[in-house]
Amino acid sequence: MSTFTIIGTGNMGNAIGGLLAAGGSDVVHVGHEQLSSATIDTDVVVLAVPYGAIEDIVSVAGDQLAGKVVVDITNPLNFETFDSLLVPADSSAAAQLQAKLPESSVLKAFNTNFAATLAAKKVGEVPTTVLIAGDDAAAKGVLSAAVTAGGVSAVDAGALSRARELEAIGFLQLTLAVGEQVSWTSGFAVVR
Ligand SMILES: NC(=O)c1ccc[n+]([C@@H]2O[C@H](COP(=O)([O-])OP(=O)(O)OC[C@H]3O[C@@H](n4cnc5c(N)ncnc54)[C@H](OP(=O)(O)O)[C@@H]3O)[C@@H](O)[C@H]2O)c1
């Protein structure tokens, strides 16, 4: 199985770490205070942090991310207005991250999954599905195998350019939850 570093020890860091560990992967957690002194030596690194922290992480640890698969899970919302994303309409947080880390393989994943549904592994009666976008097919395969081993489904959502659509889905899902139209244990399901 693969080994993962997860930067961020909040709701998503713990939920993703639990899922990957349940599937037999080795997981190293790096907290905020540890990041500046951490050695990152796994092939895959999940950035389980707010969108606003990405710039900081790139400047503190960007050198260590070269040659690695970097998983962006952010929903880059304007949380003040709750009415727009903070990235241009023809781009995404993941595309921006890939531009900042040209020697890494960036994947977009998990942003359409509320943390509770990664822990429960179900959305209603349907298995939770992790949608994964990226340009590196091998990297997508590694992440897909690891989350599937953990007990959820994974779907290849296409090229990294599809991250824009994943971020739109995440935005809509958050809008529904904050508006109390759906619960935080809900989510969009994929039935194949
Ligand atoms: N919660 C969900 O259900 C959900 C679903 C889909 C996507 N997401 C996305 O997942 C990401 C994490 O959400 P979350 O709910 O897990 O947030 P959270 O519980 O607030 O955890 C965020 C983590 O990031 C760390 N962090 C913040 N700034 C950092 C920095 N500059 N360097 C290193 N670490 C930093 C925090 O550490 P400190 O607390 O010590 O600062 C904390 O461990 C967000 O981008 C969110 O949009 C969340």
- pLDDT score at 19: 98
Across the chain, mean pLDDT equals 97
Mean pLDDT over 132-152 rounds to 98
φ, ψ (nearest 5 deg) of residue 20: -65, -40
Q: What is the mean pLDDT of residues 42-47?
A: 97
- 89 CA to middle of ligand 1, Å? 23
The arrangement of secondary structure in 3-178, i.e. its CATH architecture, is: 3-Layer(aba) Sandwich (3.40)
CA 74 to centroid of ligand 1, rounded, Å: 8
Tell me if the pTM is above 0.95. Answer: yes
Annotate 79-94 with b (16+ C-beta within 10 A) or e (fewer).
eeeeeebebeeebbbb
Atom of ligand 1 nearest to the CA of 170: 6
Query: What residue segments make up the domains of the chain, in order of their start?
Result: 3-178
Per-residue pLDDT band at 27 (split at 50, 70, 90): very high
Q: What gap in Å lies between CA 26 and CA 17, rounded to an integer?
A: 9
Cα-to-centroid distance, 72 and ligand 1 (Å): 11
106 and 130 in contact (C-beta within 8 Å)? no
Residue 1 has pLDDT above 80, yes or no: no
pLDDT band at 179 (very low <50, low <70, confident <90, very high): very high
Q: How confident is the model at residue 2 (pLDDT cuts 50, 70, 90)?
A: confident
Give me 8's structure tokens: 């961020």
Q: What is the pLDDT of residue 40?
A: 98
- For ligand 1, what atom is nearest to the CA of residue 184? 3
Q: What percentage of the chain has pLDDT greater than the value 90?
A: 98
The residue nearest atom 5 of ligand 1, judged by CA position, is: 114
User: If you take atom 28 of ligand 1, which residue's CA is the nearest one?
Assistant: 53
pLDDT (average), residues 92-103: 98
- 113 C-alpha vs ligand 1 centroid, how far in Å? 14
**Whose alpha carbon is nearest atom 31 of ligand 1?**
53
| Ligand 1 atom at minimal distance to the Cα of residue 116 | 3
Q: Ligand 1 center to residue 192 CA distance, Å? A: 31
Under 8 Å between Cβ of 99 and 107: no
Ligand 1 neighbours, Cβ below 6 Å, are 7-13, 32, 35, 48-51, 53, 56-57, 73-75, 110-111, 113-115
How many angstroms separate the alpha carbon of residue 48 from the centre of ligand 1?
5
